[in-house]
Chain A
Amino acid sequence: MKALYVGFLGAAMLASCGGDSKPAGSDSGSAAQHASGGVDLNGAGATFPNPLYSRWITDYAAKSGVKINYQAIGSGGGIRQLQEGTVDFGASDAPMTDDDIAKAKGGAVMHVPMVLGAVAVTYNVPGITAPLRLTGDVVADIFAGHIVKWNDGRIVATNPGVSLPDKAILVVHRSDGSGTTFIFSDYLSAVSAAWAKAPGKGKELQWPVGLGGKGNDGVAGQVKGTPGAIGYVELAYAKQNALPVAALKNANGDFVTPSVESATAAAAGVAAKLPANTDYRVSIANAPGAGAYPISSMTWILLYRTPTDAVKSKKLTDFLRWALTDGQKSAAALDYAPLPAAIASAVLARLDSITPSPAK
């Protein structure tokens, strides 16, 4: 279906090019598309940043006239389309592996972090008003099925004065492959050696216990409806639906609730320790630093380092430069955490290393 659709899109573009009777030099293709009111850049990938990317694309089109088409088909789909070269850029919540990059037909791939996301742990424990306080190893043991009751001593230990019920814990996880699951399992792997061994981290895991819900709404719906349930959802989803969220103990030993500020603080904590030549395929799970929320992650736009079309490449890097500067200001309003200034400026400098090389 998707392949067919892309094929159709391509055919439509070819047709619009053919309609232009006056070829204008080597890059007549993109010029013709522009002239005929077509799309300048095509991208596909992660659904998580889609609301923000859509906003950016609208704002940027109003400002510069560059039309960008972004299809939120999922991180996996975005990576596959980039590998095949059917899109000008991809987007993903999980960095590409070395194997993924090796399979890309256009050569080396650059990861450009755009904003930060956080994953909130939400729960339904009757009679609790203040946010639950949980440590990383307790969260890991709950999701691994080792802690099965809400009044377990290890949960009580971090929640003095809270009367926790003698109720079974029901774990709810995502059933669909998801960047949210990747970020959450990346965190659990960082805080628990046992979790890192199995089930490990990925967009789709072999969960030891629990029910699978489809999408953030599937997980949240199940948690809301079942007393004793615990699950994880994106920060934006938790905030917009006013779900109860747990405060988690970070690497500094503070209990931090998820928020735009605490996610940015996590990235800032990691930024200081990045080597100068980093490719930004880095995890910011369980980040050090005061006020850092431990289940945070970057979300990336993926593009080729040596694109064949210089005109398109310029348009794309111009858009990314705008998104990394002016665009960051609209992030917080949509519950995405802006990049810390140190990372944003380093990434901007890195965009200069993109060198278009015309196809032979």
Chain B
Amino acid sequence: MNTADAGDRAYRVTVAAMAMVVPLLLLLVSVEVVRAGWPALHRFGIAFFTRSAWDAVNGDFGAAPAVYGTIVSSILALVLATPLAVGSALFLSEFAPRWLQQPVAFLVDLLAAIPSVVYGLWGILVLIPWLRETVMPFLADTLKLGNTPLFSGPAYGNSMLAAGIILAIMILPYIAAVTREVLLAVPRSQREAALALGATRWEMIRDAVLPHARSGIIGGIILGLGRALGETMAVTMVIGNTHEISASLFSPGYTMASQIANEFSEATNDMHISALMAVGAGLFAITLVVNLLARWLVSRVAGERTA
């Protein structure tokens, strides 16, 4: 056996071990979370995720408001962030002059570098007063939307709407950065071909660029969604932390991540701790499903194009 052989083998074993560590960690984390949450899941059954009670004093737990708040705030964030992010990426890749491209892209990326607690502080000090005094009265009174279920109720500021807006700003750089890279990767020849056929600039983007970039853009959106689902600190600071399901975006709510962050450090009762771990397991499952869904969407879209 010569030394090069041994070196190769050692190298292969080392790299294989490193590759195994990551899935193993994932497996261990999920096993541990489900195991710790098992007493609550066993006691309340699958209804744990559809019940609204959360009474730590009497040991009665249900996670429905948190599940609802997690999903609604994340979807709201996507609805607000996606057009902005895709729009900014389109502008930067298709229209912006070279001297503008770099600085604006840098600034958008910089949004991702702001710590989430700073977003939360900005939410408390700037966003919430602005929502309470300007935006909410405008929506409810000036636009007369106050009687529709979506915008009813008193305007406290702390609300699902505030959480959605904060999350939208936080996930925007992720979607924008991925979309921009994907758009820049579209071959020049595609664009030139479309223009040569007499397409206007808009038609060129719509028919040649976007279809080519579609799977990548969806991937970026899902990346943003994943981040929105798990975001904790900034959301906790603005959402109002109330165990309640309300159709109104003006109402306070709760998310699964903020519930765990709020209660875990002071929970002593076994069932309470277990219920929080079960919420964690639920959040884990939701993110898993979202990621699988994203993979499926991306592969489907990619497959369509090559077919």
Interfacial residues, chain A to chain B (CB-CB below 8 A) = 73-77, 79-80, 100, 168, 170, 175-179, 199-207, 210-214, 218, 221-222, 225-226
Contact = CB atoms under 8 A, between A and B. Distances in A.
A205 B56 contact: yes
Given A204-B272, A205-B57, A211-B156, A225 B262 contact: no
Contacts, number: 92
Nearest to A212: B241
A200 B132 CA distance: 32
Interface string B103-115: 0000000000000
B56 A211 contact: no
B226 interface: no
A207 B252 CA distance: 13
A313 B195 CA distance: 84
Contacts of A211: 156, 158, 240-242, 252
B267 A175 contact: no
Contacts of B243: 206-207
A204 B267 contact: yes
A199 B156 contact: no
Interface in B243-288: 243, 252, 258, 261-268, 272
Given A178-B266, A212-B252, 19 more contacts: A76-B266, A77-B266, A170-B154, A175-B236, A176-B262, A176-B265, A176-B266, A177-B263, A199-B55, A201-B57, A203-B266, A204-B56, A204-B57, A205-B55, A211-B242, A212-B240, A213-B158, A213-B241, A225-B129
A360 to B, nearest CB: 29
Interface of B: 53-58, 124, 128-129, 132, 154, 156-158, 236-237, 240-243, 252, 258, 261-268, 272
B154 A80 contact: no
17 contacts: A73-B265, A176-B265, A177-B264, A178-B266, A199-B55, A201-B57, A203-B56, A206-B54, A206-B55, A206-B57, A211-B158, A212-B240, A218-B124, A218-B237, A225-B128, A225-B132, A226-B156
Nearest to A185: B57
Nearest to B158: A211
Contacts of A214: 236-237, 241, 262
Contacts of A203: 56, 266-267
A87 to B, nearest CB: 15
A113 B56 CA distance: 25
A177 B241 contact: no
B57 A199 contact: yes
A75 B262 CA distance: 13
B156 A74 contact: no
Given A225-B128, A226-B157, A76 B262 contact: no
Contacts of B265: 73-74, 76-77, 176-177
B268 A76 contact: yes
B242 A177 contact: no
B160 to A, nearest CB: 12
B262 A226 contact: no
Contact of A200 (B57, B157, B158, B258): B57
Contact of A100 (B242, B268, B272): B268
